[in-house]
Structures are given as C-alpha cells and as structure tokens.
C-alpha cells in the first residue's frame, strides 16, 4: 500500500511539473543576446504564470533581466511602460532613463527581444501600434436608410476596436451630415477625455439619422476643415498625425475632389469607408476623388473585419509608420 501511494505521489509530482511554465531566466545581462546566450530555462512555480523581460537603461548602460513572474504582478509592471515619466513615458529608450517590461504566457515565450514595445531605429517605445497609434481622426459620417443605425454602430465598433482612446493615442471628433453638416451632431476631440463609453454616449445623444435631401459630402469636408480640424476643436499639435475619414452608404451628390485635395494639401490623410447595401454599388470614381488613391478606399457589406487583409495592413502601416511619433515630446 505504501509503495502504491509513493507511486501516485511521484505521478502527481510529474504531471504538475510537466504542466509548469518554462521561462528564459537571466539576472541583469548587458543585452538581450547575452541574456539568451548565458541564461537558462527555469521551471516556474505554480503561482508564476507569466514570463517577464525587463530592460533597464541608464545613460549608456543596459541591463536585461528575464524570469518567471506572477501574472498579475507582471501585467502591472507592463502597464507602467506607458505611464508619464519626465517629458516622455517610462518605457522610452531615447531618454536618459528607461524601464520596459514585457509579459507573455507561453513556454519559452520570453526568448528574444521585447514583445510589447515598438522599435524605431533602435529606440524602444511603449505601446504597440495598433492600438496605440498617435493620431487625431475626424469622422465625417452619412448613413441613411433602414440599415443606417446598424451601420453606424458597426463603424464605431470597428474604429474604437482599432485604436485606444487616450491623450497619447487616438482622439476622435465626429460630424453627421446629409444635405448640410448637422452642427448639433458635432463631437469635439476634447469633449470626452479618455472615456470611450462617454464618446459612444455622445454619439447616441447627438447623431440623428436623416433620410431626406442630397448627400453633400464635399460640403461636409469643407466644414470639417474649417471647424473640426482646428486647435479650438481640441485637435493636437503637428506632432500628432491627422486623418479625415469619410463614412457613407451612398454616393455623394456634390463635387468632392476639390475639398478632398485641399485636405491633403493641409497634411491630412483622407480615407473612405463605404457600406454597400444589398443591390447597391458605389461609383468608384467618386470614392477615388475623395480618397486620392485606391489604397485609401475601404468598402464592406457588414463590418470592418470583411475588408481585404492587404488593405487593412496598408492602413496599419501608414498609421504606424513612425512609432517615434507615438510619444508627445521633441527629439533632440
């Protein structure tokens, strides 16, 4: 009987150890490569469900530590990456002092470089892009018809899923238009702070679908340039990217090329997101007049997830092209 229990104990011990997480481990090596070369794999304790990588920089010196870590504790450390520190963030290696921590939850997942930061010309930054792209997005919207409310919700869900709403990430303004811009629908960049729920509440309160009159998209673009895309409307300074995004489910009735060209001249990236209702197809020439290039045109029937993956990657590449711009400070 005793032998049987010993066998059972050994089996339980084996199964427990076989399920334990394995992490690369080193204590303050001078680089990621040195850590991986001189470190070793550790079998984590039962309460350690994450593998951590911490990179500390002080002036010209670098120290790297990798180890097993409690998941909640590791996550808390990683969240500190984007916290303000001096003129920048805690994880920002172009500053004299920087601390970056990344967590992952799979065996040996911390072998190699930092997985939760962005690197531009050897500089690490907090917050992967997306969703931490630094851009002001003016949404100019016209949906009409029986599916308009559903399409508005789908568009907002897609947009807010794509980018974090924060002072050092994405900020949105919004205008609904039909024959004329509807000023009562206006939402400013600085009206809702970092509260996505409040932004959605403002949309619900202010946007009233209109099914009458022409769809004057060019007129709405002119209004946006003169009234929405301004510092008075809460738009941030020229360190922040600027996007004018047109959302619609029917063809524009007015001239759009001139206003859209003017937006581009002023440095705005112009995109078109078009819902094609059943039996309806956009006039592609009109969309191209607005967007300026085919890669800025996105059409879909139900939701953003149905957009061509190559185009979605192109959009990501444009918005995230220079992660250095993610941090609101001037580089020397």
pLDDT at 89: 73
56 burial (CB, 10 Å; 0-12 / 13-18 / 19+) is middle
pLDDT confidence band for 295 (50 / 70 / 90): confident
Residue 212 · residue 178 · CB < 8 Å: yes
State what percent of residues in the chain have pLDDT above 90. Answer: 52
pLDDT at 78: 85
Residue 242 · residue 229 · CB < 8 Å: yes
Least confident window among 24-28, 113-117, 152-156 = 113-117
| Rounded distance between C-alpha atoms, residue 285 and residue 283, angstroms | 5
pLDDT at 201 over 70: yes
pLDDT at 325: 42
Least confident window among 47-56, 109-118, 244-253 = 109-118
| Rounded distance between C-alpha atoms, residue 191 and residue 202, angstroms | 9
| Rounded distance between C-alpha atoms, residue 215 and residue 320, angstroms | 32
For residue 258, give both structure tokens. Answer: 């001139």
Over range 126-136, report the average pLDDT.
Answer: 68
Least confident window among 128-142, 225-239, 267-281 = 128-142
pLDDT one-digit tens code per residue, 238-286? 778 899 999 999 999 999 999 999 999 999 999 999 988 888 889 999 9
135-326 classified as CATH 3.40.50.410: yes
Report the chain's mean pLDDT, rounded to a whole number. 83
pLDDT at 115: 77
pLDDT at 186: 96
**Helix (DSSP H) and strand (DSSP E) numbers for the chain:** 9, 15
Q: In this predicted model, which residue has the larger pLDDT, 216 or 153?
A: 216
pLDDT at 13: 47
Nearest to 103 by CA among 86, 115, 120: 115
pLDDT at 302: 60
Regarding the domain delimited by 21-126, which CATH topology (the fold level of the hierarchy) does it fall under?
Answer: CD59 (2.10.60)
| Rounded distance between C-alpha atoms, residue 65 and residue 319, angstroms | 32
Residue 114 · residue 57 · CB < 8 Å: no
Q: In this predicted model, which residue has the larger pLDDT, 277 or 85?
A: 277
Does the predicted TM-score (pTM) go above 0.75?
no
pLDDT confidence band for 48 (50 / 70 / 90): very high
Domain ranges of the chain: 21-126, 135-326
**Which secondary-structure segment (H or E) carries 156?**
helix 148-162
Q: In this predicted model, which residue has the larger pLDDT, 158 or 72?
A: 72
pLDDT at 135: 85
Query: What is the DSSP track for 21-62?
Result: -EEEEEEEESSHHHHHHH-EEEEPPTT--EEEEEEEEETTEE
Q: Do domains 21-126 and 135-326 have the same CATH topology?
A: no
Using the Cα atoms of residue 106, residue 116, residue 93 and residue 82 in order, give the sign of their dihedral: negative
Over range 71-83, report the average pLDDT.
Answer: 85
């Amino acid at each position: 009987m005793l032998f049987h229990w010993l066998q059972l104990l050994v089996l339980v011990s084996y199964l427990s150890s076989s399920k334990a997480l394995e992490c690369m481990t080193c204590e303050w090596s001078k680089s990621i490569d040195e850590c991986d070369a001189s470190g070793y794999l550790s079998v984590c304790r039962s309460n350690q469900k994450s593998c951590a990588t911490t990179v500390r920089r002080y002036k010209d010196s670098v120290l790297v530590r990798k180890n097993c870590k409690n998941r909640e504790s590791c996550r808390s450390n990683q969240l500190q990456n984007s916290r303000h520190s001096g003129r920048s963030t805690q994880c920002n290696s172009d500053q004299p002092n920087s601390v970056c921590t990344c967590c992952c939850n799979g065996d040996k997942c911390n072998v190699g470089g930092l997985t939760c930061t962005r690197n531009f010309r050897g500089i690490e930054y907090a917050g992967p892009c997306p969703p931490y792209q630094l851009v002001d997005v003016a949404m100019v919207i016209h949906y009409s018809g029986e599916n308009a409310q559903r399409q508005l919700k789908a568009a907002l869900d897609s947009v807010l899923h794509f980018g974090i709403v924060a002072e050092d990430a994405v900020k949105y303004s919004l205008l609904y238009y039909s024959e004329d811009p509807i000023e009562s629908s206006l939402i400013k960049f600085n009206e809702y702070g970092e509260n996505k729920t409040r932004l959605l509440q403002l949309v619900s309160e202010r946007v009233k679908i209109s099914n009458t009159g022409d769809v004057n998209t060019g007129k709405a673009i002119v209004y946006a340039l003169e009234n929405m895309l301004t510092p008075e409307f809460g738009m941030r300074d020229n360190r922040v990217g600027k996007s004018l995004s047109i959302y619609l489910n029917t063809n524009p009735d007015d001239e759009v090329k001139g206003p859209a060209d003017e937006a581009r001249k002023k440095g705005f990236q112009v995109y078109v997101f078009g819902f094609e209702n059943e039996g309806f197809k956009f006039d592609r020439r009109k969309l191209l007049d607005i967007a300026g290039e085919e890669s800025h045109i996105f059409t879909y029937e139900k939701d953003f997830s149905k957009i061509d993956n190559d185009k979605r990657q192109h959009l990501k590449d444009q918005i995230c092209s220079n992660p250095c711009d993610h941090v609101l400070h001037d580089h020397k």
